[in-house]
Amino acid sequence: MVKRLPKFKAPQKVYKYCLVRKHHRDFFPRESVWRASKILQLIYSDICGPISPISNSKKRYLITFIDDYNRRTWVYFPVEKSEAFAMFKMYKARVKEKT
């Protein structure tokens, strides 16, 4: 169909990066194999920031906590990233208080 294409020569050298890129990867499962059976057994967390522009109350980060048992999400807004552990302790105390 196409005329006058040059003959393609296979490369003599095979690069490791090219082979890795072509490897098959399994998809992530849609449902978890294991779920928490009680509150605070498994917590997912993520921290985002620094966010620009900063808020009026000088908050530059946000941190989320998601309980795997009931899928409730809590969001906190620390000023510095180093406050993450203190935010987790506040989250844990608040969840224990409510149960």
Q: How far apart are CA 74 and CA 89, in angstroms?
A: 13
pTM here? 0.65
pLDDT digits (tens, 9 = 90+) for 1-25: 677 777 777 767 766 666 666 666 6
Superfamily of domain 38-98, CATH level 4: Ribonuclease H-like superfamily/Ribonuclease H (3.30.420.10)
Whole-number Cα distances in Å, 42 to 26, 30, 65, 75, 95 = 24, 18, 10, 17, 13
pLDDT digits (tens, 9 = 90+) for 20-50: 666 666 777 777 778 899 999 999 999 998 9
The conformation of residue 5, written as its DSSP 8-state character, comes to: P
pLDDT attached to residue 31: 77
Residue 52 φ then ψ, to 5°: -125, 130
SS3 track for 17-45:
HHHHHCCCCCCCCCCCCCCCCCCCCCEEE
